[in-house]
Structure 1
């Protein structure tokens, strides 16, 4: 050690961050007798508990030329933060959104949907999805040499629908019949048989209710009903008819609903236009030309953005966002756009909260009863009747715990969705006319004059309007 007038801690002051991931040193006092070697400084740090991630280069510079670091904060140790594991995921081995199924947009802005009715056939035994495992993550270490735990990624689950089988390890999903892949509500993966109609659904065909996917190479006439547990594809148009699918619905010729029909899908609905229609989708409603005087509800988004993308009249409701090229018209036709959490989600949230409360109370009573019976069982003092009761209570407890966990998981999902309502957005690429009404959560904004290229979103407890690109 050099012949300094004071001990090292008179000159050097050490500061460690709250998360203990960084240590800094500052040279506060200085006189010409300061002389400490790299070893002295390292020893000082160790004596103060800083032992990991020492920045040798900085320490050497400090020992060699202390005066150039006066009153400067120098990083002397850096811990390694933990790396959380990546969540697992499920990968479809068939690209359901492949480019072959994107409609071709023609020069005049109309859409050629003929390419869209390619069906995704699979054969029995084909692998259709695989589960990618979550990653462990890597623990970190702070400058004091204490390990910092990391979070393991959350495992994904294969959501098994109809006519598919998983291997024992639950890592691969295989088709158990030949048919068409269909994703239904809750991202369940199914393979359904196909029912094809070469022509219109009219009096010659009658209503269709099929446990599978339906392809109609024609129109669906007024008053008829097509129901499918998979997807529905229509190459023609849909009149005032009822189409209900657990999966997705694609309509090449558009919907002329006359305010009577209903088109409802668990997943996504795609159509070239909707006029006086009622349309409900669990996820997205994608319309290539126009939505006129219709009632549209989408769990996620309503998108109408092509060269003709026009929304006029009616009510559009979406969980997260609405995108259009033009909204309303120069006649100031009332057009309502509501974005944010859908009412049924809000209701589900409230009823789930009270169910969790009730179930937790029931669980408490079950546990109390078991607490009285368990000691008696241990000392063999239970009658057959009481034994049976104890077994029954044990079963009830397990079931209630499972139910509570499932409800809490769903609550978390719903609460996340509710938080997202603050990220709700309405985006108009060309022009929005007076007569439009924007509703987001609890807030409402009326558009009085036409505005070009505009976005609406919630800012500081109100609906803000942002113009420009």
Structure 2
């Protein structure tokens, strides 16, 4: 902004006689220009009024004083109230220049102190002008207009008095010069935007012999505006001490209410089901493992529930408490068979099964229903729960469930594994590839060319050329009731209408042998052997420590711990021995073993325990069982 504009405001206030007084004012302004160029960091002694200048022309001295004051303190010019800056918000370019200037000043200060450059926080640094203060600008312009009107009124009054003196010099009784400038004290103007969260301040300098701004005046203005909180006392003192006129500052700042953070749901299970192929150790991919259904175990994490935070109260500059809004509670996507933990922090599965996302909720189902055949569109299935297949299972696929497997159609050369029961509505033709594993029982329309491993019983209408290992009983007495070929091993009994065939196809039956029970016993025997070896080593250590004449407290503690371990292993050994004994009794109990059939064709071999019976002729309504002498006897049923 040019120097000619800088005096516009006070030139207007200080208009004088169009002849002599106007010329004197312009001459003073020209003399002030070189003085204004010499800026200093601190106000100099020239701030004080010069007596000779006052006597000569107080009006001119006032103008020189304010003009120089603005330049020396690097403040906005004296016509600020009528400039664009006061009427409109500062532009982005002007704001950028202000920021760059502040940054350079900070860097220079840091370099002088030998420290690192610190970034200036515009909101905390009162030196950064506040943009977008149009309402306050209008308020200040209105206040300035009142001052101008008052000065103009005094001007007119002085002009009339001067004119009166010239017209009637003989009547003039007072020879003192007429001063058209009224004495106006420094003023403080405050502005509070809507919400009372901050207050802006701007001080006007005194005019004439008016009183300069005092701390009491500023405090009274704040008190009158009922501003009691968040006052920047340091800034208030600085405005008074350094006479920071014509500048807008933020004098008070309230603490806004901080809303609490909303609660949040962090999902650990994907909502969408998608194909997922996995490589084995050799890098091969089985494209039958589609992983369409995601298994989940009881207690497994589904979602983390982040509770909402409480809002923090704030306070406006008038001391009013602003209530902080609490965060909103999130909607937990809890569906069937899911449960929120007692502490409310997690959503977990209530049971084993597969998890799905339906109707904006996670659901856990322990029944997997496949509406159709198991083919390449479905792939292999490994499920925690029951599987219901409304169709056939084609060759090469594997169905595995921790619960039951129910198949309404036919099973080809596939592998079916169930933790409990297997039920096949249309039967199974394994083509010498199919396998059944059941933790409990198997029920099928027929079984042909398949391997069957069952902990419980088998019930079927026909069994042809199968390799069967059953800890319970085999019943082929319904329907055709044919049991032909293969090797049949049963822990208890075999019942059929017809065993063998007229084509003399050999059939072998082994009873009293419990493969699954025997495997369980063998595992426990291995565990028992390991426990015995551990006990022997512990006993040797105990004996060694006890043989010492004296033991340190540390070794005494070690001995105590070893004795406790040996006692624990002793109890485990006793328990395992008892369990093995029970299993051996089950394995060696042949008293309930028998084979019953309406007709048996040779060649057939029936083995119960260690005794066998070779049948060479067709026999009707027969029963094979073990006598008290340990021999297999053919009896009539």
Aligning the two structures, in what range does the TM-score lie when normalised by the shorter sequence? 0.5 to 0.7
Q: Distance in 2 between matches of 1:192 and 1:439?
A: 45
The aligned runs of 1:299-318 (5 Å cut-off) are 299-318=471-490
Give the whole-Å Cα distance in 2 for the aligned partners of 1:203 and 1:409: 49
Length, aligned pairs only = 281
Q: 2:506 — aligned with what?
A: 334
Preserved CA contact (<8 Å) 2:353 2:384: no
Aligned-pair CA distance for 1:423: 3.1
Q: State the Cα distance separating 1:323 from its structure 2 match.
A: 1.2
1:277 is paired with a residue of what secondary structure? Answer: strand
Q: Could you tell me how far apart the structure 1 residues matched to 2:635 and 2:389 are?
A: 43
Quote how far apart the aligned CAs of 1:178 are. Answer: 8.6
Cα deviation code 1:96-144 (max 9, x no counterpart): xxxxxxxxxxxxxxxxxxxxxxxxxxxx9xxxxxxxxxxxxxxxxxxxx
Contact 1:453–1:467 under 8 Å retained in 2: yes
Aligned counterpart for 1:443 among listed residues 611, 619, 630: 611
Q: How does 1:272-421 map to 2 (within 5 A)?
A: 272-287=445-460, 289-342=461-514, 345-346=517-518, 349=521, 352=524, 356=528, 359-360=531-532, 362-367=534-539, 369-370=541-542, 373=545, 381-384=551-554, 386-387=555-556, 389-421=558-590
Distance 1:209 1:400, change over 3 A: same
The residue that corresponds to 1:252 in the other structure is 425
**Residue equivalent to 2:439:** 266
Q: Take 1:343 and 1:256, find their aligned partners in 2: how far apart are those partners? A: 23
Q: Which runs of 5+ in 2 are unaligned?
A: 1-297, 299-336, 338-348, 355-363
Q: 1:395 to 1:227 in 2, by over 3 A?
A: farther
Query: Counterparts of 2:529 and 2:493 in 1: how far apart (Å)?
Result: 33
Give the conservation status (yes or no) of the 8 Å contact 2:396–2:415: yes
Q: For the residues of structure 2 that align with 1:305 and 1:415, how far apart are their CA atoms? A: 30
Quick one: distance in 1 between partners of 2:611 and 2:472?
Answer: 19
Measure the CA separation in 2 of the matches of 1:238 and 1:356.
41
The match for 1:452 among 612, 620, 636 is 620
Within 5 A, what are the aligned runs for 1:92-241?
176-177=350-351, 193-241=366-414
Q: CA, structure 1 residues 250+351, in 2 after alignment: closer, same or farther (shift >3 Å)?
A: closer
**1:57-113 deviation digits (Å, cap 9, x = unpaired):** xxxxxxxxxxxxxxxxxxxxxxxxxxxxxxxxxxxxxxxxxxxxxxxxxxxxxxxxx
CA contact (8 A) 1:248 1:265 kept: yes
Query: Whose Rg is larger?
Result: 2
- Distance in 1 of aligned mates of 2:519 and 2:483: 28
Q: Which residue of 2 aligns with 1:465?
A: 634
Larger CA deviation: 396-405 vs 263-272: 396-405
Q: CA separation in 1, counterparts of 2:515 and 2:393? A: 31
Secondary structure of 1:177's aligned partner? coil
Shift of 1:411: 0.9
* CA distance, structure 1, for counterparts of residue 371 and residue 491 of structure 2: 36
Which structure shows the higher strand fraction? 1
Q: Which fold has the larger relative contact order, with Cα–Cα distance below 8 Å and residues 6 or more apart in sequence?
A: 1
Partner of 1:455: helix, strand, or coil? strand
Q: After TM superposition, give the deviation of residue 366 of structure 1 in Å.
A: 2.5
In the alignment, is the contact (CA less than 8 A) between 1:376 and 1:382 conserved in 2?
Answer: no
TM-score (norm 1): 0.54
SS of corresponding position for 1:413: helix
Inter-partner Cα distance in structure 1 for 2:506 and 2:539: 58
Q: For residues 370-395 of structure 1, what are the alpha-carbon distances to aligned partners after superposition, in whole Å with 9 as ceiling and x for unaligned?
A: 36657999x9x4342x2453354245
In 2: Cα distance, 1:226 partner to 1:178 partner: 17
Partners of 2:385 and 2:586 lie apart in 1 by 31
Assess if the C-alpha contact under 8 Å between 2:594 and 2:624 holds in 1: yes
Residue ranges of structure 1 left out of the alignment (5+ in a row): 1-123, 125-162, 164-174, 181-190
Change (3 A) 1:217 1:347: closer
